[in-house]
Chains A and B, each alone.
Chain A
Amino acid sequence: MDRQQTSDSSGTWQPKIIAFFCNWCTYTAADLAGVSRMKHDSHFRIIRVMCSGRVDPQFVIDAFARGADGVLIGGCHPGDCHYMEGNYKALRRFHLLSRMLMSMGIEQDRFRLEWISASEGEKVRTVINDMVRRIRALGPLRLPAGLAELDGELKTREEEILHV
């Protein structure tokens, strides 16, 4: 898959972060940050889901594969989930997925889970600014070449199997 490099008008590389925010807490907090005119870095894009529990690990992998330099999941604080415990499910998946991503060579700072309640507009700003800063320091995500080899190998095997 082709990865697109983003640069701003002056030609410097800018990170691309995909943020999955739950409707009830973090998305509302982002709205609050807006209403409160809390200026923050623009290099992230929000996708609204009803609950952080809806974030399929494949969404995260897909985002990285399509060129995201970072993925942020925002959910309600433990005990506050609008759906009682969806955020705990998100947390479970997060730990497993983090390890998997690291083994693929995707640095820990590129994948983040944050609990941000509807009242924490300020936290949206802090988290986003911090994440952008860390990813700027890491530079663009270069999926390891080994993965491409792995892809090739899989393809060959698949063809072998199909031909047998």
Chain B
Amino acid sequence: MSEQNGEIRIGFYVCHCGHNIANIVDVAAVARYVAGLPHVVVSREYKYMCSDPGQELLRQDIHDHRLNRIVVASCSPLLHEQTFRTATAKAGVNPFYFQMVNIRENVSWVHEDPAEATLKARDLARAAVRRVAAHKALQPKTVSINPDVLVVGGGIAGIHAALTLANAGKKVTLVERAPTIGGHMAMFDKTFPTLDCAACILTPKMSAVKNHPNITLWTYAEVTKVDGFVGNYTVTVKHKPRYVKEDLCVGCLECIDACVYKEAKVPDEFNRGLGKRKPIYIPFPQATPQVVLIDPETCIAVKSGKCKRTCVEKCDRLAIDLDQKESFDEITVGTIILATGFKTFDPKRVSYYGYGRYPNVYISLEAERLINASGPTSGELILRDGRRPKTVGIVHCVGSRDKNTHRWCSRTCCMYSLKLAHLLKEHSGAEVYNFYIDIRAAGKAYEEFYDKLLEENVHFIRGRVAEVTDWAVIPEEEGKLIIRVEDTMIGVVRRIPVDMVVLAVGMEPQSDAQEVRRLFNISCSTEGFFLERHPKLAPVDTFTDGIFIAGACQGPKDIPDSVAQAGAAAAQALMLIDSGEIKLEPNTAYLTEQNCSGCKSCINLCPYHAISYLDDKHRASINEALCKGCGTCVASCPSGAIHQNLFEDEEIYSEIDGLLAERSPESTAV
């Protein structure tokens, strides 16, 4: 046991957290109880320990009472451990002489009986008081940081983050798995509430990414492996074969004209299958980079080799390489920003809306492409059956706010539905009906946009649509799609015949979000979006240091919010980079050599190869620089020769002992 000043003098503080803790836990009783424990010199309760006066109280007590150990019983250490360690250090005590007790998340928020909660708070406090006595003074490990950054995902969030960092002089590698950057935003026609054209505001940023000297843009590429830790990540990137040499192609598109397919026959992904492309194609006119690619599934030459290869002949820059194989690159970066975006809800899961059954049922992204001037119909609103709609119904909350699919509100659908209502009406003069549960127009100038729509004579019917059907019961419904809905404003079930249905599909996590999360060693929240370190105070951080998240991969978000988050993530990365070095938690393992029997059982347990065997000494040796501090080797050493800083055996035994120790008579009288 390390005793800095000979004698252990503990200060204990229990926080009310306003009413959050004090309403359930009898904080005064806890403070009184702890005051009677060995080594405790000061035991207080305070309204908000994390506030300035709370921290000042701590500092003053350390000074006045010569405290050398601090225990604070408040919220989760994942929230405020750092705050109190810093406060402890500021008062001249080693920050690792601090221990935190979680009596909010683990007690007052989850238990209802005040007596039980108070008892539990006391047990936890007693354990911490015993533990802190066993603490040792430690120094945080510092490591240098590689200033280069990896951004994964080339949607608006990834683009904005990459440009922000690159403009700050950092080298950025932007990896996008599609053949072009731009993401979902590139598919939109116009953006709410300003109605400025999505391409007009996005494509300059796409070009800026391509041309920026500090950005390496890798499209049609995926991250396959991530090693290392904050400041020093090694990332493997797979380049999928485009069958076109990216450095040689200038995007003249002559190869596409030369393709043996005279007509475009393959459904075009960018236009959601509403248009057609050839096996050799460019996703859309402003695709960045301006490089064609070949789809190996449909290209005759790649598939069977039996083709005249007119495209190869046509390309005088010899850019087409039908034998191209996937290749790999390894890069080292210090920080990573994940901006991998979202997926739209698949409306086939709600078969009663008829998507896939009735050709004139569309999802919102398809509607965007239909009204886009560069879309498959050049902006003419022509339906799959060739008709022009006279009435359009927009069904809100498809795959959102629904216990059978997704419970969350996707936040963007109300606004984009209003936008689509405006644009569809503008393009076709059709009558437009919105079927909504609530209109959620929270955002700058959003409510005003809704007001404008009301004045444009767009119809609003409040009610969740029950069904879309083609089963006509009256002559006026013949040949139409009928939307069945309870109009909850008038309490009547209505049947509204329309020519076109647009399903306002919600946003959900990417289908491979779980794999990506594992790759980068981060977590997902319950709904499957990436989990932020703290929902309010650390919204772009993750639990893995040096990895940040931005945009809709963290949760449904519109463009302004995605851009704001991307900026925040870039700022977080810059903060790490510009501080020059990173302080790491000193929870590494170390060895007392004289106790090591040289049994080697720890060597293979370490996933980081931090333990080696010294043949000359017949002992193990731990490289603390490589150790990440899991403590697995500590738990398995049969000789008790390995220890872990911050989680010493003695510290954990004191905690167990403290939790189970005899309770004083006072405790049973709660």
Binary CB contact string for chain A from 1 to 42 against chain B (1 if under 8 A, 0 otherwise) = 010101111000000101000011101101111110111101
Query: In angstroms, how far is the closest chain A Cβ from the Cβ of B131?
Result: 9
> Residues of A at under 8 Å CB distance from B?
2, 4, 6-9, 16, 18, 23-25, 27-28, 30-35, 37-40, 42-43, 45-51, 53-59, 62-63, 66-68, 79-80, 82-86, 89, 93, 117-122, 125
Q: Which of B107, B605, B655 counts the most chain A CB atoms within 10 A?
A: B655
CB neighbours (8 Å) of A50 from chain B are: 587, 629-631, 644, 647
Instruction: Report yes or no: A59 in contact with B116, Cβ–Cβ below 8 A.
Output: no
Q: Is the CB of A63 within 8 A of B656?
A: yes
Bound: A71/B164 CA distance, A: 49
Specify which chain B residues have a CB less than 8 angstroms from the CB of A54 in the assembled complex.
630-632, 634-635, 644, 647
Q: Which of the listed residues B78, B110, B127, B629 has the most CB atoms from chain A within 10 Å of its own CB?
A: B110
Q: With the chains together, A33 CA to B119 CA distance in Å? A: 20
Shortest 3 CB-CB contacts between residues of A and residues of B: A34-B105, A54-B631, A53-B632
Q: Which of A2, A28, A37, A86 contacts B630 (CB 8 A)?
A: A86
Given A45-B659, A54-B647, A24:B523 Cβ within 8 A: yes
Q: With A42-B111, A42-B120, A63-B656 as known contacts, state yes or no: A84 contacts B607, CB within 8 Å.
A: yes
Bound Cα distance from A38 to B110, whole angstroms: 6
CA of A125 to CA of B652, assembled, Å: 24
Residues of A within 8 A of B668 (CB): 7, 9
Among B78, B535, B607, point to the contact of A28 (Cβ < 8 A).
B78
Number of A-B contacts (CB under 8 A): 161
Q: Which residues between 616 and 670 of chain B lie within 8 Å of chain A, taking CB atoms?
A: 628-632, 634-636, 644, 647, 649, 652-653, 655-657, 659-663, 668, 670
**B524 close to A119 (CB less than 8 A):** yes
Docked CA distance A116–B653 (Å): 24
Cβ–Cβ contact A66 & B631, under 8 A: no
* Residue in A7, A38, A57, A84 whose Cβ sees the most chain B Cβ within 10 Å: A84
**CB neighbours of B655 from chain A (8 A):** 47
Q: Does B109 contact A37, Cβ atoms closer than 8 Å?
A: yes
User: Does B541 belong to the interface (CB within 8 Å)?
Assistant: no
Evaluate contact between B76 and A34: CB separation under 8 angstroms. yes
Q: Which of B127, B518, B587, B647 contacts A45 (CB 8 A)?
A: B127
Q: Tell whether B543 is near chain A: CB-to-CB under 8 Å.
A: yes
Q: Which of A7, A68, A82, A89 contacts B521 (CB 8 A)?
A: A82
Kindly list chain B residues whose C-beta atoms are within 8 Å of the C-beta of A28: 78, 523, 543
A-facing mask of B120-153, CB < 8 A → 1, else 0? 1001100100000000000000000000000000
The answer, among B106, B587, B629, B644, for a CB contact under 8 Å with A46, is B106
- Is the beta-carbon distance between A45 and B111 smaller than 8 angstroms? no
Cβ of A46 to closest chain B Cβ, rounded Å: 6
Distance in Å: Cβ of A65 to nearest Cβ of chain B: 9
Once bound together, how far apart are the Cα atoms of A117 and B124, in whole Å? 23
* Minimum CB–CB distance for A64 against chain B, Å: 10
Please list the residues of chain B having a beta carbon within 8 angstroms of any beta carbon in chain A: 76-78, 102, 104-107, 109-113, 115-117, 119-120, 123-124, 127, 518, 521, 523-526, 528, 531, 535, 543-544, 587, 605, 607, 628-632, 634-636, 644, 647, 649, 652-653, 655-657, 659-663, 668, 670
Q: Which of chain A's residues has its CB closest to B527's CB?
A: A119
Most A C-beta atoms less than 10 A away, residue of B116, B528, B662: B116
Expressed in whole angstroms, the minimum distance between the Cβ of B466 and any Cβ of chain A is 30
User: With the chains together, A7 CA to B632 CA distance in Å?
Assistant: 36
User: Can you list 14 residue pairs at the A/B interface with Cβ under 8 Å?
Assistant: A4-B662, A4-B663, A28-B523, A34-B110, A45-B123, A47-B127, A47-B656, A49-B631, A50-B644, A68-B660, A83-B630, A86-B607, A86-B632, A118-B523
In the complex formed, the residue of B with least CB distance to A66 is B660
A54 to B78, CA, bound (A): 19
A117 engages B76 (CB within 8 Å): no
A39 to B117, CA, bound (A): 11
Q: Once the chains bind, are A47 and B653 in contact (CB under 8 Å)?
A: no
Asked if A9 and B670 sit within 8 Å, CB to CB, the answer is yes
Let me know if A56 and B111 touch, CB within 8 A: no
Of B521, B523, B544, most A-chain CB atoms within 10 Å:
B523
- The reply to whether A16 and B660 contact each other, CB–CB distance below 8 Å, is yes
**CB < 8 Å: which of A38, A45, A51, A120 contacts B632?**
A51
The contact of A56 among B518, B535, B543, B649, by CB within 8 Å, is B649
- Asked if residues A34 and B104 are in contact (CB atoms below 8 Å), the reply is yes
Partner of A89, one of B106, B124, B636: B636
Q: B438 → chain A, closest Cβ, in Å?
A: 23
- CB atoms of A34 and B106 under 8 A apart: yes
* Most central of B124, B607, B649 by chain A CB within 10 Å: B607
Q: Nearest Cβ distance between residue A59 and chain B, in whole angstroms? A: 6
A33-B110, A66-B660 given; name 16 further pairs at CB < 8 Å. Answer: A32-B526, A34-B106, A35-B109, A37-B109, A38-B110, A40-B111, A42-B110, A45-B120, A47-B655, A48-B77, A50-B647, A56-B649, A83-B630, A118-B524, A119-B526, A119-B531
Q: Which residues of B contact A51 (CB under 8 A)?
A: 630-632
Is A30's CB under 8 angstroms from B659's CB? no
Closest to A54 in B: B631
Distance, CA A25 to CA B523, complexed state (A): 8
| Choice from A25, A31, A49 contacting B105 with Cβ under 8 Å | A31
Within 8 Å by CB of B116, from A42, A84, A119, lies A42
**Residues of the B chain whose Cβ atoms lie less than 8 Å from the Cβ of A119:** 523-526, 528, 531
User: How far does the alpha carbon of A85 sit from the alpha carbon of B107 in the complex, in Å?
Assistant: 30
Chain B residues near A24: list those with CB within 8 A: 523, 543
Closest to A10 in B: B115
Bound CA span A42–B108, Å: 10
Q: Nearest Cβ distance between residue A158 and chain B, in whole angstroms?
A: 20
Chain B nearest CB: distance from A112 CB in Å?
17
**Which residues of A sit under 8 angstroms from B528, Cβ to Cβ?**
119
**CB distance A27 to B659 under 8 Å?**
no
Q: Tell me how far the C-beta of A24 lies from the nearest C-beta in chain B, rounded to whole angstroms.
A: 6
In angstroms, how far is the closest chain A Cβ from the Cβ of B339? Answer: 20
Q: How far is the CA of A34 from the CA of B130 in the complex (A)?
A: 25
Q: How far is the CA of A9 from the CA of B525 in the complex (A)?
A: 38
With A31-B105, A50-B630, A62-B653 as known contacts, state yes or no: A55 contacts B660, CB within 8 Å: no
Query: Using Cβ atoms and an 8 Å threshold, which residues of chain A touch B123?
Result: 45
Closest approach, in angstroms, between the C-beta of B517 and any C-beta of chain A?
A: 8
Q: How far is the CB of B601 from chain A (nearest CB, A)?
A: 11
Q: Are B523 and A42 in contact (CB under 8 A)?
A: no
CA distance A6 to B124 in the complex (A): 15
Task: Provide the residues of chain B in CB contact with A80, threshold 8 Å.
Answer: 518
A55, B105: Cβ atoms closer than 8 Å: no
Query: In the docked arrangement, what's the CA distance between A8 and B653, Å?
Result: 25
Interface-central residue, B119, B543, B544, B630, by most chain A CB under 10 Å = B630
Determine the chain B residues whose CB is within 8 A of the CB of A118 once the complex forms.
Answer: 523-525, 531, 543
